[in-house]
Amino acid sequence: MKVGIIGSGGREHSICQMIKNSKKINEIFCFPGNAGTEIIAKNVLINLDNFDNIKNFIHKKKINLVIVGPEKPLVDGLVDYLEKFNIKVFGPNKKASQLEGSKIFTKKLCEKFNIPTAKFGIFDSKNSAQKFIQNSNFPIVIKADNLASGKGVYICNNYNDGVVAIDEIFNGKFGKARNLLIEEFLNGEEMSFFTIHDGKNFKCFGTAQDHKRVLEGDKGKNTGGMGAHSPSRLINNELEKKIINKIINPTLKGLSEMGSEYKGFLYTGLMIVENEPYLIEYNVRMGDPECQTILPRLKTDLIDIFLACCEKELKKISIEWKNKKSLCIVLCSNGYPDTYKKNIEINNLNSIKLNFDDFVFHAGTIKKNEKILAVGGRVLNFVSLSDDFKLAKKNVEENLVKLNWTGGFFRRDIGYKVIE
């Protein structure tokens, strides 16, 4: 069969990598892909906003299954559009994708179905938001309502921090903003909990802990993610049951009452407070870099899982995992998450000899004139599996040192909570 993967990041490269050995696969296309996917798949330079061109290419090449990686095409309704033309697609529809597309949509769902989450207020102007925080107890959390590539969340320790956050959101840093959210600050530990859905049933799909802040010690600005490890140290049977019963099941019930089923990955971002889960946010796709961290642990054929979801037969699939720890460190361009130079050559990639359980997933790269160039803020994802996190981190850092790329930087404390 022929498979098309929508997206150009490390998440999409890791999906390509994991499905390439499936006996069912004849050919993989990646829209638009990157320098890493080009080794495995045929990259297709198509504007992801042009649904008609995507559909025409899929029909022309007789692609049997399409997997949508990033959030924007999902929120914009690509799945709905392709399904109108009888194209088999893995990913949630436009209505269900509002779980990520609008934080206010999700908060109102939480309110209606008693899903545990931080207390919140919705504000539609700078003045009303600034007036509210004059009398707030800090820290507080201020969030852009719309898609923000994982960067639209501000933890504000004082009034001045809050004013900056409010100004940046309403001034359009993350696109046109009609509203923003102000939330209470929950003091706990974050965890990413993943499930995979076929519209009727779902199965758990691993846990991870992400490092969002750009600087070591979890300080500095928010990013799309500087690294992750899987599984999370926080997960246990009791907590898993609470997450499913208190958060995921009521969410699916809410969507069902709105006339929408859920098909695809669901990323539940949680704050764990004394073994109690609170919903921070939903993402309607695999996280990045959590995807690159979790997928190498998977034993079951990923294509079998995708097909079962599209055919509403997930119940028949047994999802099996390697008994290994996984750790990922993201190599970023100097200057990220602010301004950074583009088209910087990465010289030494071919000199790194990877062991069986080591991986390098491309994110912000292109291949031009036989050279690999960095064009994004997050450039490469180095991943290793091992019996313990300490050894996995050692393997990753050894490969990063071998690369010796002067155009970028990485955090050296990824996984510090699970490594003594």
Q: Are residues 201 and 312 in the same domain?
A: yes
The CATH code of the domain that includes 369 is: 3.90.600.10
Please give the mean pLDDT across all residues of the chain: 95
pLDDT band at 120 (very low <50, low <70, confident <90, very high): very high
Asked whether residue 419 is domain-assigned, the answer is no
Residue 13's pLDDT is 98
Residues 6 or more apart from 215 whose CB is under 8 A from it? 411
Q: Are residues 210 and 310 in the same domain?
A: yes
Residue 206 binned pLDDT confidence (cut-offs 50, 70, 90): very high
Cβ atoms 229, 296 nearer than 8 A: no
Over residues 359-406, the pLDDT tens digits come to: 999 999 999 999 999 999 999 999 999 999 999 999 999 999 999 999
Instruction: Dump pLDDT digits (tens) for 221-246.
Output: 889 999 999 999 999 999 999 999 99
Q: Is 370 exposed, middle or buried (0-12, 13-18, 19+ CB in 10 A)?
A: exposed
For residue 146, is pLDDT > 90?
no
Same domain, 305 and 351: no
Say whether pLDDT at 198 is over 90.
yes
Q: Is residue 161 part of a domain?
A: yes
Residues 141 and 220 both lie in one domain: no
Q: What is the CATH number of the domain that holds 141?
A: 3.30.1490.20
- Return the pLDDT at 12: 98
Of the candidates 90, 106, 131, which is a domain's last residue? 90
Residue 148 reports pLDDT greater than 80 = no
In whole angstroms, what separates CA 330 from the centre of its chain? 13
| pLDDT computed for residue 152 by the predictor | 85
Would the pLDDT of 420 be above 90? no
Stated as kind and residue range, the H or E segment containing 10 is helix 10-19
Average pLDDT (169-182) is 88
326-353 in b/e form (b: 16+ CB < 10 A) is bbbbbbbbeebbeebeeebebeebeebe
The DSSP symbol for 117 reads B
Taking only the tens place, the pLDDT of each residue in 50-105 is: 999 999 999 999 999 999 999 999 999 999 999 999 999 999 999 999 999 999 99
Dump pLDDT digits (tens) for 303-340: 999 999 999 999 999 999 999 999 999 999 999 999 99
Q: Are residues 230 and 297 in the same domain?
A: yes
Q: What residues pair up with 15 in beta bridges, in sequence order?
A: none
Regarding whether 133 and 51 lie in a shared domain, the answer is no
Query: Is residue 392 domain-resident?
Result: yes
pLDDT confidence of residue 130: 94
Q: How many domains does the chain fold into?
A: 4
- We report the CATH number of the domain holding residue 25 as 3.40.50.20
Same domain, 208 and 258: yes
pLDDT on residue 257: 96
Order the strands of the 180-184 sheet from edge to edge.
120-123, 180-184, 140-144, 153-156
Residue 369: what pLDDT? 94
d(CA 167, CA 176): 12
Domain assignment present for residue 249? The answer is: yes
Same-domain pairing of 306 and 196: yes
Does 34 map to a domain? yes
Q: What is the mean pLDDT of residues 128-155?
A: 88
Confidence (pLDDT) at 272: 97
Domain hosting residue 395, numbered range: 325-409
Four-point Cα dihedral 277, 337, 221, 133, nearest 10: -90
Q: Record the pTM.
A: 0.94
Length of the chain: 420
Helix (H) and strand (E) counts in the chain: 14, 23
Is 418 contained in some domain?
no
207 with 167, same domain?
A: no
Whether the pLDDT of residue 113 is over 90: the answer is yes
> Which of 184, 199, 220 is the C-terminal boundary of a domain?
184
Residue 308: what pLDDT? Answer: 98
Query: Do 308 and 358 share a structural domain?
Result: no
pLDDT on residue 24: 96
Share of the chain above pLDDT 90, in %: 93
381 part of a folded domain: yes
Question: Is residue 123 domain-shared with residue 76, that is, in the same domain?
Answer: no
- Please identify, among 184, 201, 223, the residue that sits at the C-terminal boundary of a domain: 184
Residue 150 has pLDDT above 90, yes or no: no
User: What pLDDT sits at residue 135?
Assistant: 87
Work out whether strand 2-7 and strand 65-68 pair parallel, antiparallel, or are unpaired: parallel
CATH classification at residue 301: 3.30.470.20
Taking CA atoms, 81 is separated from 55, 128, 137, 307, 338, in Å, by 9, 38, 45, 19, 35
Q: Which of 288, 302, 249 is nearest to 377 (CA)?
A: 288
Please tell me the predicted confidence (pLDDT) of residue 222: 87
The answer to whether residues 220 and 155 belong to one domain is no
How far apart CA 420 and CA 400 sit, in angstroms, is 21
What value, to the nearest 5°, has the Cα angle with vertex 105 and ends 100 and 111? 120
Judged by DSSP in three states, 232 sits in coil
Report phi then psi at 387, rounded to 5. -75, -20
218 within a domain of the structure (yes/no): yes
Q: Is the pLDDT of residue 162 over 90?
A: yes
